[in-house]
Amino acid sequence: MASAPANSAATTRPVAPTVRRLAPLVIFILLALLPLGSMLGLPGHWLTLVTRAMIFAIAALSLDLVLGIGGLISFGHAAFVGIGAYGAGILITEGQTELLVALPVILLACAVFATVTGYVSLRTRGVAFIMITLAFGQMAFYFAQALSAYGGDDGLTLYEKSTLLGHEIFGNRTGFYYIALGTLAFCYGLARRLVASRFGRVLRAARENAVRVTITGYDVNHVRLGAYVISGMMAGLAGFLLANQTDFVSPAYMSWPRSGELIFMVVLGGVGSLYGAILGALAFLVTEDVLSSLTHNWKIIFGPLIVLFVLFTHGGIAGLVAKLRGRRDG
Amino acid sequence: MAEPALALKGLAKSFGALKVTNGVDLSIAPGELHALIGPNGAGKTTLVHQISGTLKPDAGAILFGGQDITRLSPQARARAGLARTFQITSTIPSLSALENVALGVQAHSAHPLSLFRDAASDEALNTPAWEALEAVGLAERAHAPAGSLSHGEKRALEIAMALTLQPKLILLDEPLAGVGHEEGERLIGLLNSLKGRFAMLLVEHDMSAVFALADRVTVLVYGGVIASGAPAAVRADPAVRQAYLGEEG
Amino acid sequence: MLSVEGLDAGYGEAQILFGVDLAVGEGEVVTLLGRNGMGKTTTVRAIMGLLPAKAGRIAFGGRDLTGAAPFRIAQAGIGLVPEGRQIFPTLSVEENLIATAADRSGKKRWDLERIYAFFPRLRERRENRGNQLSGGEQQMLAIGRALMTNPKLIILDEATEGLAPLIREEIWNCLTALKAEGESILVIDKNVDALVRIADRHIVLEKGRVVWRGSSAELRSDSAVKDRFLHF
Amino acid sequence: MTLSLLIVQLLNGLQFGVLLFLVAAGLTLVFGVMDFINLAHGVQYMLGAYLAVTFVSLTGSFLLGLVLALAAALLLGLALEFLVFRHLYERDHLDQVLATFGLILLLNQAVKMIWGAAPLSVPVPEFLSGNVRLMDGILYPVYRFALIGAGLGVGALLWFVVEKTRTGMLLRAGASNAPMVSALGVDIRKLFMIVFAFGTMLAGFAGAMAAPILSVEPGMGDTVLILAFVVIVVGGIGSIRGAFVGALIVGLVDTLGRSSMNDLLRLFMAPASARATGAALSSMLIYLVMAAVLFVRPEGLLPAKGRS
Amino acid sequence: QAQEPIKIGVVSVLTGPAASLGQQVRDGFQLAVDKNGGKLGGVPVKITVIDDELKPDVAVERVRSFVESEKPAFVVGPVFSNILGAIAKPVLDSGAFLISPNAGPSTMAGKACNKNFFVTSYQNDQVHEVLGKYAQDQNYKKAYIIAPNYQAGKDSLAGFKRYFKGEIVDEVYAPLNAMDFSADLAKIASSKPDVVFAFLPGGLGVNFVKQWSQAGLQGKIPFLSAFTVDESTLPAQQDAAVGLYGGMTWAPNMDNAQTKDFVKAYEAAYKIVPGSYAQQSYDAAMLIDSAVKAAGGTGNPDKLRDAIKKADFTSLRGKFKFNTNGYPIQDFYLVKVAKRADGKFQTEIAQKVFSDYADPHAKDCALK
Ligand SMILES: Nc1ncnc2c1ncn2[C@@H]1O[C@H](COP(=O)(O)OP(=O)(O)OP(=O)(O)O)[C@@H](O)[C@H]1O
Ligand SMILES: Nc1ncnc2c1ncn2[C@@H]1O[C@H](COP(=O)(O)OP(=O)(O)OP(=O)(O)O)[C@@H](O)[C@H]1O
Ligand SMILES: [Mg+2]
Ligand SMILES: [Mg+2]
């Protein structure tokens, strides 16, 4: 896009370092305390809701790694979530519930899919990249739809959950909650380290000026592909958890509106800040839940809310947090 | 005679019907500062692009330290020690000046893409980066995002970035454009002090700089070389005066 | 013609200009001098309304233009050759020239023919897109584009950057001719030697403040300023 | 496949392509020319269809209803521009995506509340009903010919405006550097407002023209939106010619793929598996084509000048 | 008296193009409750309507949090089989009865049948079989059949072929979001089949039928369909659909008193002609009404289950009984679209095709 350099300023708004460190800490502490809150009168289903939100937060976080940090707007990320979910679903249906078998298989499948599609997609940039990743996402979607042996379009109900060395670790709701939280924290830490590393620096630099980075001696596509593969695997992990939470997998998990929603979560939270993606997923799903319990026409409220939010804030929720803090600090 | 740092042999490039590079032969000795001058649109930047690998020539060969690099990717050329600056400044706006320079240091380290170690606090990267910033007089602005530097400061930053690539040859495309008189003097001083450490190809319209710095000068007009040699000889060449220098030379 | 009084401006939190005063009279050539990063371009951007003025007044041709939108300021008769050329990359050379063409001085001195006559190189490249031009060609185009609006005042921000010596000479000659036709000119350029010949008055900015102002003769005689800006 | 069937299928593909072009034209204008990603373009198309339903039944005349629907779409475009879009021109693409997604939610829901969830329709106008006989008993509806004609007309007009007029130049210039256009004395905001409203009207026109042959229902714009994006990316963003070519390719590939994929696969597969594979493949086909085009020519087939 | 209300969740799609079906399910149920003065089986009910948005994971999330926090006695819904597959487990795990007013997938009719799962519509395949049987009875030789490319579509065409033994000239799976069927219509026109069978629900059917008539095929080739011309699509298809055939267990002109009352009340309340979605949902409410009454409340699940199995209520269809797998055994009709005197459109019963027809999957079900 001709005006990319001018536009990139908005996505790279520097966030004060204290905020960057403090905000995620606060988020994780609050999340860790939430199950206590449900004892104190928070509606019981909040545990389920927030578990689901955290699973989507993992997927959104993985997307932010390529979208926010790498500047690659992937519009097919739901495919990875779907691969993760189907991996779990198919293995369980075939009688293999062991997590230590399922996870490596899923991560490998995601890595392979990411490598192949990433290799092709990374030839393009900008909008073409958005659309080519959409194309691969749709292909995965139609493929899942054609999987008659595993329910086709009707999806696949799982009558068991994954186990760890035979233990039913996903059976207990609070237990599941903390597993999701732990996974999210792990993924966040991993992403944080990656971004701060040499690899991450090159990835960030390439977003803003790929020619410069190339001329400096890096193979930009190589770096981007690496990030894409890592991100795809992380999203697959989210899919694995999602299948175990809903006891159900469906091609709908891979449809393009789903990929779109992941993008919205990232943008809502604040592009490129990582913890913003977590906030975005939480805000998106919790607002949706609260509003939809008020009225079936909740979208007539949610829509304008989003529009107003974009019009009156810059840099998503993370930008808002940074700004509020900045104001208080003087 | 030692192997030239850079040799162009019959290089040619056209955009449609326009021959922008028209059979250019050029040779730069190690440590030499070679100036490339010529009217606007003569094909200087296009030539720089071909040498650095961002444009593919239609014909001819590029030898770098004796090795044919015509078909190498830009990043491979950079790793081999070929650095450049851009005519239109090209930095990474949101990274600080220091990080911009450290990016270059990192490219030539043992683990340019290591995944987990924190890069910002990595002294192996920061120390050489500071040195390069100091060399171009930008140390005070080390922590400012490159995007907020003034035009002249960005030019200096570009040179610092090139310095970190442990270059054997630097391509400088109009490094003085937009640089004020005072900073210009300093930049000329800097380039002078760097002379001999590596070869340089300097594209520049500021004749006072060219004649103050160059060991040899080549004049390009309509994609072809019309004169090449010692500065004084080129300056006196009537064809060059007519096509390019006018009164000023 | 143009008068700027007590101008404060900046980017976000950072204030760059502090109470800048300057005026350009009818048919006058004024230069804005200063080292890199001293606020010359910022002044120009504020005059054009591209950057909001935090304080101060900007008037042109007797009209108060403080806070007006850029297009209104341009329509009042100011033509801009911006720093960094900023030609339209997706338009052809000819389209770049005619897209914003106008007659703001009521004298219509510049049309395609005259621009092409002045920069024959542009005629050769008329079908090419802006982003296919060489740096110098882009610079010529930016100047041509501003002239095509037939302004009463033309502002040149580093307009000779990247131009070959011969062309640069041409530009100076052109400015002299324009001045003779009664055009007002505000110019920023590092070739102060040439400017001293053409310009009537000079203004020196340092860290966003006017630190010196005077005529060409005064500039030549003030050794402190002279050393800084002139070669001899 | 017989020759006559092939001809009909080509016509069908052409007509589907033209419909896509009508939607894509407005999108590429706003997206390519103004560099604004408007996801709400699909709901604007839907609104055009609904407005046509209302006005046609109100006036009892297709033409009058169409004109009123267009006027209403234009007004709606102006209102949206004033309230939302103008505040987003200088924002990041992703902000535009998020905000226009909010508009999709709002408008889809509003349509459902106003017109109800059940599908609606517009009768084919009397003077365009009936069929044309195309050899051995194969009929082709007159209305579809009219649709093809309308698409070609709009395409030619747009191409002329964008490529040949000064307004078009200013638009293209504004897309790459709006402040500079303004600094040269052109009120770029006003220009953008007009173009945006015009884009909305185009989307509305596509919706209104589709209403007599397609079911008018909430969410009808969402599928079309994605197809329209496919069209403009395949054709080359911001180029009217590209959108036209892209639309024809998508229309033809989809139509021919669906009608001949089974027959093709049956040549070397058992009928049952040919059907299963064929159905999956023909759904994927346009995406496969898009991926292939982008792989070979990332900038699309006929990119707008300067956007490579 | 301060009686604890029975909690019932109605899961239905209220977003997107399919919402018109979902609204019928919601409204049909509500109508029955309203008619009973807000009570079922003499006990007040508290209804929570849940929008599944036709997204399985959204449905699971909403339904699970509902059953967890409310512990309902019944969940009624949903419209679509893929949503049923998603919500069945959490609902049944919670101990609630799941009553499907529309979706009747084969999976849950056979091996995966459940003692707390009941269907007040039919087993999905049966409707398609009706048309296959009719086509066979008419001695049609060549059929062109088309359905959307998803599981229900594949089941549909399989169902049709179970009874139709003639030649299938083409079997087409259209994309789920297909808008333009002109390519298929051209193929039909050129291959000249004796009969066309289509399963194109919702907007697909509207598009197909309108284009069918515009292509000049109306009246030329017999058109049999399932869920393609019904009360949810007729307002959009209008005259283009008149004379086309469908298969169903009920139609608004069914000749019994309860149907007359129902149609009148529904039209008065919701301004549209009710279709089978509303009717089956209404029956689901009446079923609950009878069962709660017989079991004396919801306190004893086993008693309640036995009462449900008896199906001792007045169905709008007239006779109605459950098979061992919780699916009905009932009559099926060929229905035909007609324009009523008041200008509205509805389906009308043309002829009976099956009597007391049970689905074939029941034999795989272990329940007795
Ligand atoms: N992509 C392109 N397509 C067509 N012509 C091009 C393209 N790139 C450059 N040119 C033309 O090639 C010629 C040489 O351009 P180049 O940028 O090499 O000139 P230069 O010598 O660097 O000039 P300057 O001193 O003005 O920077 C110019 O006339 C330019 O218009
Ligand atoms: N977009 C911006 N955001 C923040 N600071 C800026 C921006 N542009 C310029 N500055 C700062 O404003 C100050 C003045 O810049 P300005 O461009 O006006 O200088 P100048 O006198 O034109 O210098 P030069 O000769 O290098 O063009 C500089 O310190 C610069 O770092
Ligand atoms: Mg150049
Ligand atoms: Mg400046």
> Per-residue confidence of chain E (368 residues) as pLDDT tens digits?
457 889 999 999 988 778 888 999 999 999 999 999 988 888 999 999 999 888 887 888 889 888 888 889 999 989 988 888 889 988 998 999 999 999 888 888 888 889 999 999 999 889 999 999 999 999 999 999 999 877 778 888 888 999 999 999 888 888 777 778 887 888 888 888 999 999 998 888 888 998 898 888 888 899 999 889 989 888 888 888 898 999 999 999 998 999 999 999 999 999 889 999 999 999 999 999 999 998 888 888 899 899 999 888 889 998 888 999 999 999 999 999 999 898 899 999 999 998 899 888 888 888 87
Which pTM value belongs to this model? 0.86
- How would you classify the pairing of strands B169-173 and B82-84? parallel
CB contacts under 8 A, E 183-212 vs D, are 183-184, 186-187, 189-190, 202-203, 206-207, 210-211
Average pLDDT, integer, range D61-89: 93
Rg of the Cα atoms in chain E? 20
Percentage above 90 pLDDT, chain A: 50
Query: Which atom number of ligand 2 is nearest to the Cα of residue C10?
Result: 12
Band the pLDDT of B27: cuts 50, 70, 90: very high
Q: What is the mean pLDDT of chain D?
A: 87
Q: Are D29 and D198 in contact (CB under 8 A)?
A: yes
**Which of the following CATH numbers is that of domain B6-91+166-248: 3.30.70.20, 3.40.50.300, 3.65.10.10, 3.30.43.10?**
3.40.50.300
At D121 the pLDDT is: 85
Best mutation target among E51, E170, E182 (most D Cβ atoms within 10 Å) is E182
- For residue E27, the surrounding DSSP H or E stretch is helix E19-35
At C232 the pLDDT is: 45
Beta strands in chain E (DSSP E): 6-12, 39-40, 43-51, 74-76, 97-100, 117-119, 142-148, 167-174, 195-199, 223-226, 245-248, 321-322, 328-339, 345-357
Q: Is B17 helix (H, G, I), strand (E, B) or coil?
A: coil
**Which residue's CA lies nearest to atom 18 of ligand 1?**
B43
Ligand 1 mean position to B46 CA, how many Å?
6
Ligand 2 mean position to C42 CA, how many Å?
6
Q: Is E52 helix (H, G, I), strand (E, B) or coil?
A: coil
Contact residues of C toward D, CB < 8 A: 48-50, 69-71, 73-75, 79-80, 82, 86, 88-92, 95-96, 98-100, 102, 104, 129-131, 145-146, 149
Name beta bridge partners: B27: B7
Q: A17-32+46-329 maps to which CATH number?
A: 1.10.3470
Residue ranges per domain, chain A?
17-32+46-329
Best mutation target among A46, A248, A288, A300 (most E Cβ atoms within 10 Å) is A248
Residue ranges per domain, chain B?
6-91+166-248
Structural tokens at position B122: 């990595």
Q: Is the dihedral of CA B120, B125, B126, B132 positive or negative?
A: negative
Position A2 pLDDT exceeds 70: no
**Which residue's CA lies nearest to atom 3 of ligand 1?**
C132
**Looking at this protein, which amino acid is placed at residue D205?**
F
Average pLDDT, integer, range A79-97: 93
Q: Residue A311 and residue D226: Cβ atoms within 8 Å?
A: no
Q: Are D274 and D207 in contact (CB under 8 A)?
A: no
The C-alpha angle E352, E357, E361, rounded to 5 degrees, equals 145
Q: What per-residue string of b and e applies to C127-136 under the rule 16 or more CB within 10 Å gives b?
A: ebbbbbbbbb
**Looking at this protein, which amino acid is placed at residue C55?**
A
Tally A–D CB contacts below 8 A: 134
User: Quick one: A1 exposed, middle or buried, by C-beta within 10 A (0-12, 13-18, 19+)?
Assistant: middle
With the most atoms of ligand 1 within 8 angstroms of its CB, the residue from C125, C132, C168 to mutate is C132
Distance CA B35, CA D47 (A): 64
Judging contacts by C-beta atoms under 8 Å, the chain A residues touching residue B115 are 193-194, 197-199
Nearest to E293 by CA among E52, E10, E36, E2: E36
Q: What is the pLDDT of residues A305-329, one digit of tens each?
A: 999 999 988 888 888 887 777 655 4
Q: Residue A7 and residue D291: Cβ atoms within 8 Å?
A: no
Nearest to A239 by CA among A63, A74, A88: A88
pLDDT block averages, 10 residues each, chain C of length 232: 93 90 93 88 94 93 91 94 90 94 87 92 91 89 94 93 87 88 91 88 92 90 76 50
Which of A23-27, D251-255, D271-275 is least confident? D271-275
Ligand 3 mean position to B84 CA, how many Å?
13
C135 close to ligand 1 (CB < 6 Angstrom): yes
Distance CA E40, CA E358 (A): 28
At E328 the pLDDT is: 92
Ligand 4 mean position to C77 CA, how many Å?
22
Helices A126-145 and A78-93: angle between axes, nearest 10 degrees: 20
Nearest to C119 by CA among C63, C79, C166, C80: C166
Q: Are A223 and A199 in contact (CB under 8 A)?
A: yes
Judging contacts by C-beta atoms under 8 Å, the chain D residues touching residue A304 are 102, 106
Q: Higher confidence at residue D17 or residue D136?
A: D17
At C230 the pLDDT is: 64
